[in-house]
Structure 1
Amino acid sequence: MSALETFLDETPGEVRGMVVRGGRFERLIIQRESDPPQHRLGARSVGRVTTVDAGLKGAFVDMAAGEPFGFLPLRKSDRVAVGDKVEVEVSAEPREHKGVTLSLIGAGEGEARLLRPGPTVAETLTRLAPGVEPRAGAAAMRASLEAEEEAMAPGALFAHLGVRLMVERTRALVAVDIDHAPTPGRDGRRDKTRANREGLAQAARLIRLKGWGGLVAVDLVGTGHDGAAILAAARAAFGDDPGVAFGPVNRFGVLMVSLPWRETPIEERLRGADGRPSLETRAVDAVRRLGVALADDTATPYLTLRCPPAVAPMAGALAARLGPRARVKADPALTGGVEIDEG
């Protein structure tokens, strides 16, 4: 892979964009046809104020997309009342069963409605990688599956760096643990410095890939760190986003970072309330795998996707958009995965 690549996977029911930098996945953007367009990052709408909560210093806004309503933080100078029409823009997508977070554009007119959709996946890829033409087709579908696998994993081993990384999200914060395996015969202190620098870079990458924000606690290798060097490495890793804030390394060797929330976390997009892949996720994933098989095998008259009966109706409707060679069959013998047969 080149230094910077992008992929655009337009599987029926879902569009995904992937950014790859230096051979590693940096971003995974997912937009589903079932997403309310008013909830996408950057979407602008007219909404009606339903509640003003002085304790939360904000208001809840109905944008004709159902509940939960969007939350609009208010400054002291903002004057809104229940029933007012306001023009708002999504600054953070839904997460943790909460609605979108909004920014106030100004007074609104007319009924609650979408004024302007947020950027498409293709437009987001163009912003993140200007001048890079996205790869599509089977290559993009495979990249999509690989990116999802890494985004859903809790950690990674970077053997060539001697670094093992765990990145886990709790309700309170994101915990990052950087472990280092010393190399015999090498300068241990220098190795630890390198491990922390590389560990910070990979932790920041994985957090971006997962779509996470909030408070991040990074447990560095060793103690007695050079605070200025660690801060420089953290800034290089997490970028120059003005919404990012860094704390000093404490005496326990922990660095605190605050990241802005903007996107729905990948695991919340893909999993249901029970923590398992949702029915929609399973159906789209099955159709994506069928799409790869169809691209790889252009000689067979048609391919049949066998899937669990619960998945088959949704998968069948989506697979029909792949063309006449795609077929779907419910198989009661399958409870989890899918099978693809010739003919």
Structure 2
Amino acid sequence: MITLHYDSRFGLARGAVCIDGQPHLYAEGYEFNQSLTMVNVQSVARLKSKAGGVAFLTLADGAEAVLDVPQEGFAKLVEGATLEIEIIAEPRQEKLARARLIASATGEPRRISPVQSLKDRLLAQVSDGDDIVESTLDSDALDGAEDAALNPSSPLPEGGYLSIERTRALIACDIDSAGGEGNATPKAFAKACNERAVSDIGRRLRLSGLAGLIVMDLIGKRHDADRLRHLLQAGFGSEADKLIIGPIGKFGTLEFVRPWGATPLMDMARSPVRAAHLLLRNAVKRAKEEPGRLLTLRAPAGTLDIIRPLLAASHDPLSAIIRLEAATKSEVIVT
């Protein structure tokens, strides 16, 4: 069963897609995000400059992106030209968004793709369009998906542990069999842990948004490479054909490349939009606990600058009892 858990308030939203109770996708932010650097958004952009074999774009909203173009096509690009492009990877940490070239264009930079709600963007990622998706709201399920997106390391079902750590160069994954062999022999339990981890890595990476070079440190040295490859591809589902999978190394590592897509939630952890969302979510919680009381939201100026227009545009009944106050620390005060 595929279930979409979705919550929207004050123009901000969050949602999670769960399959048989397990979270597979999570997203949060503006309910209708106007950004042109989101995955799959098409627009007309202007070629800002070319340097060192890299082409830089300026989008209609002022954001910048790097253009992926074959070397033979790079020389034909003219600075200042307008190009129809599609975003294939969102910005992350110190990296700009990446775009692919669709065609040459005329006119001023502009958006082409319609603005979709966060809910529709999540539904579009469900692997099979024929599947029936049940839509509901379960705050615990949303909280669980959010936590898993921020912390992809966790125990494996039926024993073992899969640790996922991000570095500047790659995503390092360690499989640990400690924690319960049951009636299985150490060798059989290690084999089972490897298979469970390889089967689940796709879900965890998709949920967290992590990608790039993935290195999995398998338990032991002798492995059924064909079976592990099959389990890895099955775990990624329709995304499997985008993977580049290498042979298992002599030191027992399975390496593959997953193309970057959406910005990892952990990269958004300190953004003003996320800070505003967390503060408003806390305000909703406090209002349920103590109904009818006035709420004062204290936060840094950058966070309040996000909240202020959201409250002004909202018809939410809580908007009338919320006051904003600048402070160094974010908190909700009930009076």
TM > 0.5: yes
- Unaligned residue ranges in structure 1 (runs of 5+): 272-277
**Which residue of structure 1 aligns with residue 259 of structure 2?**
260
2:292 is matched with: 302
Equivalent of 2:99, from 102, 106, 113? 102
In the superposition, the TM-score normalised over structure 2's length comes to 0.85
Question: How do residues 267-306 of structure 1 correspond to structure 2 at under 5 angstroms?
Answer: 267-271=266-270, 278-292=271-285, 302-306=292-296
Partners of 2:72 and 2:327 in 1: how far apart?
A: 62
Q: Is 1:133–2:134 an aligned residue pair? A: yes
Instruction: Quote how far apart the aligned CAs of 1:142 are.
Output: 4.3
Question: 1:132-211 maps to which residues of 2 (within 5 A)?
Answer: 132-136=133-137, 139=138, 141-153=139-151, 155-158=153-156, 160-181=157-178, 182-211=180-209
**In structure 2, what is the Cα distance between the partners aligned to 1:240 and 1:114?**
28
CA contact 1:37–1:117 (8 Å) conserved in 2: no
Map of 1:75 onto structure 2: 70
How many residue pairs align between the two structures?
323
Superposition RMSD in Å = 2.8
Residue identity over aligned pairs, in percent, reads 27
Given that 2:152 and 2:205 are in contact with CA atoms closer than 8 Å, whether structure 1 keeps it comes out as: no
Q: Secondary structure at the match of 1:8?
A: strand
Identify the residue that residue 28 of structure 1 maps to in structure 2: 26
Partner of 1:275: none
Where does 1:10-29 land on structure 2 (aligned, <5 Å)? 10-29=8-27
- Within 2, Cα distance between the matches of 1:63 and 1:312? 27
> Which residue of structure 2 aligns with residue 66 of structure 1?
62
Q: Tell me whether 1:328 sits opposite 2:303 in the alignment.
A: no
Q: Work out whether residues 209 and 263 of structure 2, in 8 Å CA contact, stay in contact via their aligned partners in 1.
A: yes
1:184 Cα offset (Å)? 4.9
- Looking at structure 1, the residues matched to 81 and 305 of structure 2 have their Cα atoms a distance apart, in angstroms, of 43
* Cα displacement string for residues 15-66 of structure 1 (whole angstroms, at most 9, x for unaligned residues): 222111222211112343695521121111111111123x33x421111322
1:330 Cα deviation after fit: 5.9
Q: Residue 39 of structure 1: SS of its match in structure 2?
A: coil
Deviation at 1:306, TM superposition (A): 4.5
TM-score by length of 1: 0.83
- Structure 2: runs of 5+ lacking an equivalent: none
Distance 1:256 1:333 in 2: 47
Residue of structure 1 aligned with 2:40, choices 42, 53, 59: 42
